[in-house]
Chain A
Amino acid sequence: MDRTPVIVGIGLSEYPVAPDLDGVQHHVLAAQRAIADAGIEKSMIDGYVNAGGGGGMMVDDAVTMAEYLRIDHKYIDGTMTGGSSFEFHVQHLAAAIRDGLCDTALVTYGSDQLSRMGRRLGTGGFQRAGQRVAGPIQYEAAYGNSLVGSYAMHAMRHMHEYGTTSEQLAEIAVGIREFAMLNPKAMYRDPMTVDDVLNSRMIADPLHKLDCCAITDGGGAFVITTAERAKDLPQDSIYVLGAAGGQTHWNVSQQPDFTTSAGAKAAPIAFGQAGLTHDDVDMLMFYDSFTITCLILLESLGFVKPGEGGPFVAEGNLKRGGKWPLNTDGGGLSSNHPGMRGIFLIIEAVRQLRGQGGESQVPDCEVALAAGSGGWLSCIGVAILGRSHP
């Protein structure tokens, strides 16, 4: 029996604004759509994976949601590495499917972040005045750092070491915006120039407002099974060719090197499993919480050498029609970012590999690489997906 792991179903809930859905409903709607897309019976699902973290008023952790969905699982995983959780899930599920721990698994995510919290997430409100803060964050909490500030410190150091410029970072946002303009559902669809990015207000030096991702609602789900079972299912099989992850720190004050990421360790493992090189990759889905996130992923995953990312993106290599088109759904920067975007990287990569990309379809898309970043460039998960049986 061929137990090669295959993604056979994908589903999105509603985005970017869905005031009528709570976080759990996002999980459910995405799951319903992924199950329908896969053409399976719900009763076939015997594995469930969910990082939680997006339920808002309701609890949406793995065991609560397994109960809510009534999944009779023999494999469950609640791994939470922030936004990269879903790339780690692919890693874990590839092994679980191969080893026979389960045959057909469902991964879900849902968040009503925008409708519930508004747009404050990136710039404050983590700690309240006078509050006692426990654990390692006690060493950071007194200073009023923001989520944006943590990424900004990466950008500042990268600029210092390599001469990377704000113009080069802006090129990343502009290229992704061009894809968002092809996505009718994207949060931001107006044409945007490098100057627009540079002229947007500074949030935390050197990151401008338009270097930062959108804040939206949204949910996603995918179904993974064996190549054997996939033969009878309607969608093209999308194979998991390689998946790996790594962690350098969690809290940003423990980042050992502000110019790189754990992708430097994970990528060679994933490429080794796939038996592929960077030149075999046709498109990229990177976690674009901020422009600098993409640049550091590009370099640390080995697509270019450290320090060469800035000039490389300025040449248009990540744009539509470029060498490695990046974030064809419009990314977190322009389309949707409900808090933990990693599941959308997998879903859009599958859509492209199936040839269902519509106007943003990457021609002859055979291999896609999704790289999630969780925390503050802390936990990096890499998944390489492809059309051909490994």
Chain B
Amino acid sequence: MTAEVRTVEEWTKPLPQLDGVSTEYWQAASEGRLLIQQCPKCGHKQWYPRALCTACAADPEWLECSGRGEIHTFTVVRQYGAKPFRDELPYVIAMVQLEEGPMIMGAVTDIDPDAVRIGMAVEVYFVKAADDVGIPYWRPV
């Protein structure tokens, strides 16, 4: 799958410090692809990406996701002290259970925060935060 990649004039939120494992994850996201990892030895799937399979310690491989999932839990943040988040209140933070199994954290947009429910079907899109960084976001299907 390749999901929508939105662009913004200026990214003012925190950026990931790319490391040996995360570089490929953020690069793929900047191209509209959501990656998790799967272990070739034991089949375990995991997010966030790591240098080992947390189940059996083998070297994991990348697995491209469908980009669909459902909201496992969430909150509506109504108070936050620092910019730029302070200017965007209220907003929704959620754990999304991916079709592939693992849970991923994200923000849910394109919906009235008061209408968000656990179990709601959502799909990923990305915001390009830097040349080599896309940030996954979620919206109702």
On A, residues with C-beta under 8 Å from B are: 120, 123-136, 138-146, 148-149, 152-154, 156-157, 160, 201-207, 252-255, 258
User: Hey, which chain B residues are within 8 Å of A123, CB to CB?
Assistant: 79-81
The smallest beta-carbon distance between B11 and chain A, in angstroms, is 7
Given contacts A123-B79, A153-B95, A204-B79, contact A138 B16 (CB under 8 A): yes
> Hey, what's the 0/1 contact readout for B55-73 against A, CB within 8 Å counting as 1?
0000000000000000011
18 more CB-based (< 8 A) A-B contacts, given A138-B17, A156-B75, A252-B105: A124-B86, A127-B14, A129-B82, A129-B84, A130-B12, A130-B14, A130-B15, A132-B16, A133-B17, A139-B48, A140-B105, A141-B13, A143-B106, A144-B13, A145-B93, A149-B77, A205-B76, A253-B95
Q: B14, B15, B76, B105: which contacts A253 (Cβ < 8 A)?
A: B105
Given contacts A127-B14, A129-B14, contact A202 B93 (CB under 8 A): no
> What 6 A-B pairs come out closest when comparing CB atoms?
A124-B81, A144-B85, A138-B16, A134-B17, A152-B75, A253-B105
On B, residues with C-beta under 8 Å from A are: 11-17, 19, 22, 47-48, 72-86, 88, 91, 93-95, 103-107, 118, 129, 135
User: Hey, which chain A residues are within 8 Å of B11, CB to CB?
Assistant: 130
Q: How far is the CA of A363 from the CA of B16 in the complex (A)?
A: 54
Quick one: which of A133, A138, A152, A157 has the most chain B CB within 10 A?
Answer: A138
Q: How far is the CA of A132 from the CA of B129 in the complex (A)?
A: 12
Cβ contact within 8 Å between B75 and A142: no
Given contacts A130-B11, A132-B14, A258-B95, contact A157 B118 (CB under 8 A): yes
The smallest beta-carbon distance between B88 and chain A, in angstroms, is 7
Quick one: which of A123, A140, A143, A154 has the most chain B CB within 10 A?
Answer: A143
The smallest beta-carbon distance between B111 and chain A, in angstroms, is 14
Quick one: which of B72, B78, B118 has the most chain A CB within 10 A?
Answer: B78
Cβ contact within 8 Å between A144 and B93: yes
Q: How far is the CA of A128 from the CA of B13 in the complex (A)?
A: 7
Given contacts A129-B83, A142-B14, contact A153 B74 (CB under 8 A): yes
Cβ contact within 8 Å between B16 and A125: no
Q: How far is the CA of A255 from the CA of B105 in the complex (A)?
A: 11
Chain A residue nearest to B108 (CB atoms) is A143
Cβ contact within 8 Å between B14 and A133: yes
Cβ contact within 8 Å between B129 and A253: no
Q: A126, A133, A145, A254: which contacts B16 (Cβ < 8 A)?
A: A133
Q: How far is the CA of A258 from the CA of B84 in the complex (A)?
A: 28
Chain B residue nearest to A144 (CB atoms) is B85
Given contacts A144-B91, A153-B73, contact A204 B78 (CB under 8 A): yes
Q: B14, B48, B80: which contacts A136 (Cβ < 8 A)?
A: B48
Pull 30 A–B residue pairs with CB atoms less than 8 Å apart, ordered by A: A123-B79, A123-B80, A124-B81, A126-B82, A129-B84, A130-B14, A132-B15, A133-B16, A138-B16, A140-B105, A142-B13, A142-B107, A144-B77, A144-B85, A144-B107, A145-B77, A146-B79, A153-B75, A153-B95, A202-B78, A204-B76, A204-B79, A205-B78, A206-B75, A207-B75, A252-B105, A253-B48, A253-B104, A258-B72, A258-B95
Cβ contact within 8 Å between B15 and A201: no
Chain B residue nearest to A212 (CB atoms) is B79
Cβ contact within 8 Å between A120 and B81: yes
Cβ contact within 8 Å between B14 and A131: yes
Q: B19, B75, B118: which contacts A204 (Cβ < 8 A)?
A: B75
User: Hey, which chain B residues are within 8 Å of A144, CB to CB?
Assistant: 13, 77, 80, 85, 88, 91, 93, 107
Chain A residue nearest to B49 (CB atoms) is A139
Q: How far is the CA of A149 from the CA of B105 in the complex (A)?
A: 12
Q: How far is the CA of A136 from the CA of B72 in the complex (A)?
A: 20
User: Hey, which chain A residues are within 8 Å of B83, CB to CB?
Assistant: 129
The smallest beta-carbon distance between A255 and chain B, in angstroms, is 8
The smallest beta-carbon distance between B125 and chain A, in angstroms, is 14
User: Hey, which chain A residues are within 8 Å of B105, CB to CB?
Assistant: 139-140, 143, 145, 252-253
Cβ contact within 8 Å between B14 and A146: no
Q: How far is the CA of A368 from the CA of B57 in the complex (A)?
A: 40
The smallest beta-carbon distance between B16 and chain A, in angstroms, is 4
Chain B residue nearest to A143 (CB atoms) is B107
Q: How far is the CA of A104 from the CA of B115 in the complex (A)?
A: 57
Q: How far is the CA of A202 from the CA of B105 in the complex (A)?
A: 22
